[in-house]
Chain A
Amino acid sequence: MTISLKPNDSPPEKLQPTGWLKYLSFSLDHKVIGLQYLVCGFLFYLIGGSLAGAIRVELTSPLSDFMPREVYNQVLTLHGTIMIFLWIVPVVNGAFGNYLIPFYVGARDMAFPRLNAVAFWLIPPSGLMLITSYFINGAAQSGWTAYPPLSITTPAAGQIIWILSVLLLGGSSIFGGINFIATILKLRRPGLKLMQLPMYCWAMLGTSILVVLSTPVLAGTLILLSFDIVAHTGFFNPSLGGNVIVYQHLFWFYSHPAVYIMVLPAFGLVSEILPIHSRKPLFGYTTMVFSIMGIVVLGLVVWAHHMFTSGTPPWMRLFFTIATAFIAVPTGIKFFNWVATLWGGKISLNAAMLFSCGFIINFVLGGITGVALAQVPFDVHVHDTYFVVAHFHYIVYGGSVFVIFSSIYHWFPKFTGKMLNENLGRFHFIITFIGFNLCFAPQHWLGLNGMPRRVAEYDPQFQVINQISSVGALLMALSTLPFLWNILQSILYGDKAGDNPWNALTPEWLTSSPPPVENWEGDAPLVIEPYGYGEKNSNKIQEGMK
């Protein structure tokens, strides 16, 4: 006997909460999930930023006098972990990816809405777990790299909670990556070809490939590490015959691509913002696509440049030097293309544009020091020093975080239907740009002259430069105030934005602000020229408006 279900027997869709409550619910709407990622990420950014402030206060004097040494190591571990796994990765991927990708491919939602909601709801508990581990027995204190044997010998509870939380966040990231790949490749509106997609789709496709290929390696490594800690196995424990270098190889096989997981989506977002505010087509679409894919391929084979001083054979050092340096080629193409996008435009100097241009300038400096660091002989002097700290903050803060702010200024009217105050936004940019450069530019000198990273005490000759750097950090902290004020003020009393305040052509602007649950009333628009700006095409834009 067989029981057959009639097709219409599927359970009725549960009602989703409406109003502000939906942002605290297990919502399946990609737009709600995107904003959940964004707000949650920003809250963690404030926590991670406070930890950075604590580090900068400690470093205003050459002695370890502000907090106990163990706590200092916990603070720097939490700062790195929170900023990477709870702020930049979830926001550039999860927040903007979830909000924008379905619009860009002409879909009503992501391919797997439930998986999407699960991916988001893994983040708050793992973040809280990570932070509260401080109150249990002290948080992890072996840096965000958790190199054994240090991570095996420091107090186990904090380290295990750190591993669990990074595993959950990695899982969330993998779910997101699978979802993006499926959505971009399979949910495209009929008639929309891959080479007609906005650049952010390509960036997210590349990023998601990296996520899916490399994050499982990190998960495996951390599980082995947790065995070493809990079950006293000897994978990475030299006193039991383990090899500590193997951990570094496995760790960096994920954690170098992680840098591209943080910056590739930012590249995509900038490629959306620059053409709209300079009223010009994106320069060199095809080369941009190929350079993203080039970065994806090269990004997977450069990890050992983090290990030039760990004891690697000469041939390996040579290979990784050349491979790393060659990433500069596709990255360089993107930067030249962006500058060419600005050239001859009608540029609006608004906050979104300024933050994007700030990103270009900061990232070029970070890229140049990156090529220098790839050279083995150069790296053996500055590896594990403040030079490296300066380099990667130019990449992840000067790069990704500047783009996050730029994107918030750009898409806030779509998110809320209200305009942000541009003058406050420009003020925010100026304070952030000055504070950031004041904080991190002097650190290049510190590294070259002998200050290692992750220290609570240092040679007194570095005090003045460290104090200058701390003043920069204070400015960065203060710069969040006009931003937060702007957000609150604009949500409550901001000017109405209308559907398309920037006269943009990409599909998210061809609907109301904020958009309806199904994204568009009626059919999704077919946008085959997302960057069709420019004088000759002005007629087309007029039509697009209607």
Chain B
Amino acid sequence: MPKLSAILTLTSSLILGIGGVWIAYNVDMLPVSASMNAPVYDELYRVLFIIGCILFIGITALVIYSLIQFRRRPGETGDGIDLEGNISLEIFWTAVPAIVVLFVGLYSYDIYDRMGGMQPLMHDHSGQMDNQAERVWGGIGSGPIESLSKENSSSLPIELTAMQFAFIFHYPKEDIISGELHVPVGREVSLKMESKDVIHAFWVPQFRLKQDVIPGQPTILNFTPTKAGNFPIVCAELCGPYHGGMRSNVIVDEQKDFDIWLKENSKESI
């Protein structure tokens, strides 16, 4: 009965689809989102999760169903059906994954663009001593980099030096050196990073951002925190025996509290 099997296929795919969406919206596996690009990331994650659930549950169900339905019963002899292929089916399951993959690729390109990944990097060094154009590579979330010398720059410039096994943050305007990163809520931070020894990586899971910190090659990471709180900074690139202990904190304050922190620490440094 081809009609019955068509109805069965349709219902089961429908259940599968709804199930996938339900799981993706009800199983939350991500930490708190605390930066501008985290909600965008979570959106992509959810779409990937829906597609993944549908595919995984669908194929697993097919395999288990086949193993039960088509198992060799005791005393049974002979072979299965003589089916060497089916061109239209094969075209179908070449085309569908191709379309899905193309959709996912274009969608993630869009997400990447919205996170600021496609913006060109401009790093103006005109006001500085070395005139050599410096190659700078940006992480995701890196927007146009304002010159550090510009007065009305909207983003907060911070320099990060990574070494075995610590992150050192330097606030160039106030000349503050800190082992923890203090940033205000809602203002773009532009982190210029370089390593003193081996490759490290700057990762804040709640910001959904990671960028390697490379010796001999500055990297830039821009991000805007959206939630006050205390989040871990984790080194994500194997950097030696104490790699697991190379951690710090990013403390996201309200602008008021951040200004107090800045004032207190610049006084100390004078």
Contact = CB atoms under 8 A, between A and B. Distances in A.
Answer whether A and B are interacting partners. yes
A364 B60 contact: yes
Interface residues on A, range: 35 or more
Contact of A371 (B71, B81, B101): B101
B199 interface: yes
Nearest to B205: A450
Interface string B18-51: 0000000000011100000000110011001001
A343 B62 CA distance: 9
A509 interface: no
B2 interface: no
Interface stretch (B9-17, B102-110, B124-132, B148-156): B102-110
Majority secondary structure of chain A interface residues (helix, strand, loop or mixed): helix
Interface string A319-340: 0011001101100110111011
B179 interface: no
Interface string B127-150: 000000000011110000000000
B170 to A, nearest CB: 20
Contact of A279 (B59, B80, B117, B210): B80
B90 A325 contact: no
Interface string A350-376: 000100010011001100110110011
Interface stretch (A25-33, A91-99, A309-317, A416-424): A309-317
A293 to B, nearest CB: 14
A377 interface: yes
A347 B240 CA distance: 51
A238 B51 CA distance: 42
Contact of B101 (A154, A311, A328, A448): A328
A364 B56 contact: yes
Contact of B244 (A321, A337, A455): A455
Interface residues of B, number: 81
Contacts of A280: 79-83
Nearest to A360: B63
Interface stretch (B182-190, B229-237, B251-259): B229-237
B117 A317 contact: yes
A136 B78 CA distance: 61
A244 B215 contact: yes
A444 B67 CA distance: 28
A449 B29 contact: yes
A80 to B, nearest CB: 11
B208 interface: yes
A134 to B, nearest CB: 15
B219 interface: yes
A286 B94 CA distance: 13
A457 to B, nearest CB: 4
B44 A454 contact: no
A281 interface: yes
Contacts of A73: 238, 240-241, 243
B216 A243 contact: yes
A449 B79 contact: no
A329 B199 contact: no
Contact of A342 (B31, B66, B93): B66
Contacts of A312: 137
B214 A279 contact: no
A364 B55 contact: yes
Interface in A225-273: 238-239, 241-245
A378 B217 contact: no
A283 B97 contact: no
B210 A384 contact: yes
A346 B79 contact: yes
A541 interface: yes
B90 A287 contact: yes
B82 A377 contact: no
Given A311-B217, A453-B236, 10 more contacts: A64-B244, A69-B242, A242-B216, A309-B211, A336-B90, A343-B70, A348-B71, A364-B56, A534-B82, A535-B78
9 contacts: A244-B214, A244-B215, A280-B79, A343-B83, A346-B79, A375-B44, A376-B140, A534-B81, A537-B82
Interface of A: 64, 68-70, 72-73, 141-143, 147, 149-150, 153-154, 238-239, 241-245, 278-287, 309-314, 317-318, 321-322, 325-326, 328-329, 332-333, 335-337, 339-340, 342-349, 353, 357, 360-361, 364-365, 368-369, 371-372, 375-378, 380-381, 383-385, 444-445, 448-450, 452-459, 531, 533-538, 541
